Structure 1
Amino acid sequence: MKTEFIKADLERIIGTRPMHDGGTMPEVLGRLDACAQSQHIPERLKHYLSKRSYVKALAWIEDPNTPHQL
């Protein structure tokens, strides 16, 4: 999945993009869970998605130089 699609789904989850144009919440969560298993995304993004740290994942997509926050 391309980064812009992941970003759109993350925005749907956190409420900054309408859900109606991307399906239902379970569909969006399923897509993000599938992305977390992908070998084609950066390790940091994979980590955030696998932990369901969606705000951190979105911040990382917007600026990959963002330091990791605990």
Structure 2
Amino acid sequence: MEQLKSDLECITGERAIEATETMAQVLARLDEMAKSLDAPERLQHYLSKRSYVKALAWIEDPSAQHHV
């Protein structure tokens, strides 16, 4: 889950992408995680729709409303 959070932070601009990676690599990893992750339904929904801000908000507080 830490890699997922880190990737979401990169995509949403909250963290810089590592110098050895590209945005395309981070997006590809997120797409792969969305397919294979055994995650709660709401998080799966956000990832599959590429609603990365909402996915990050959900990870930080799953009980909050996520109308970002």
User: What TM-score does the superposition give when structure 1 sets the normalisation length?
Assistant: 0.85
Question: Would you say the 8 A contact 2:57–2:66 is kept in 1?
Answer: no
Question: Considering only aligned residues, what root-mean-square deviation do their CA atoms show, in Å?
Answer: 1.7
User: Which segments of 5 or more consecutive residues in structure 2 lack a partner in the other structure?
Assistant: none
1:17 to 9, 15, 18: 15
Q: How does 1:20-59 map to 2 (within 5 A)?
A: 20=18, 23-59=21-57
**Deviation (angstroms), 1:13:** 0.3
- Residues 39 and 28 (structure 1 numbering): CA distance in 2 closer, same or farther, change over 3 Å? closer
User: Which segments of 5 or more consecutive residues in structure 1 lack a partner in the other structure?
Assistant: none
Aligned length: 68
